């Protein structure tokens, strides 16, 4: 713990263990991924299909070998379009807040499950970017596709 406290700019320390369990990853790998949020405008982050959205894809551990795993960074006051989940999706909110089209609020620390076949859209709230870790099984389909 003392050595970790000396590390510069460690991001989201309260979530290291939870992200490790969610993605079946060692805590050292989780720290690398979470620290990458401070470099969101650099590679390997990529632009999402919606302006203001950046994505960082990574491989999950053995339990998530077939899932699409990643970090999602969404600027404040951005609407994410309607989409349907072909498989289960698990998201852990790391920073910020968002509101789904049905009124459900997401905030830092929330673990959100979207079951296969569900659909939704959401809008980020507040003045800080909305950041979450996500594991998507079998992908999603956008309403505009």
Q: Copy the structure tokens of residue 55.
A: 């994505």
Q: What is the pLDDT of residues 9-64, one digit of tens each?
A: 568 999 999 999 999 999 999 999 999 999 999 999 999 999 999 999 999 999 99
Q: What is the pLDDT of residues 87-123, one digit of tens each?
A: 899 999 999 999 999 899 999 999 999 999 999 999 9
β-bridge partners, 68:
136
| C-alpha dist (Å) from residue 126 to 47, 59, 91, 95 | 22, 31, 19, 11
* 94 CB neighbour count, 10 Å cutoff: 24
> Using the 8-state DSSP alphabet, how is residue 87 labeled?
S
């Amino acid at each position: 713990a003392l050595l970790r406290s000396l590390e510069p700019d460690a991001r989201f320390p309260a979530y290291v263990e939870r992200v490790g369990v969610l993605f079946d990853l060692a805590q050292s790998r989780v720290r690398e991924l979470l620290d990458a949020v401070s470099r969101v405008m650099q590679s390997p982050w990529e632009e999402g299909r919606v302006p203001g959205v950046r994505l960082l894809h990574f491989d999950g551990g053995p339990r998530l070998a077939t899932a699409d795993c990643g970090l999602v960074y969404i600027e404040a006051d951005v609407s994410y379009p309607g989409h349907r989940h072909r498989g289960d999706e698990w998201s852990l909110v790391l920073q910020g807040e968002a509101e789904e089209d049905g009124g459900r609020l997401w905030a830092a620390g929330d673990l959100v499950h979207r079951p296969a076949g569900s659909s939704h859209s959401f809008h980020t709230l507040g003045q800080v970017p909305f950041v979450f870790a996500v594991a998507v099984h079998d992908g999603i389909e956008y309403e505009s596709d």
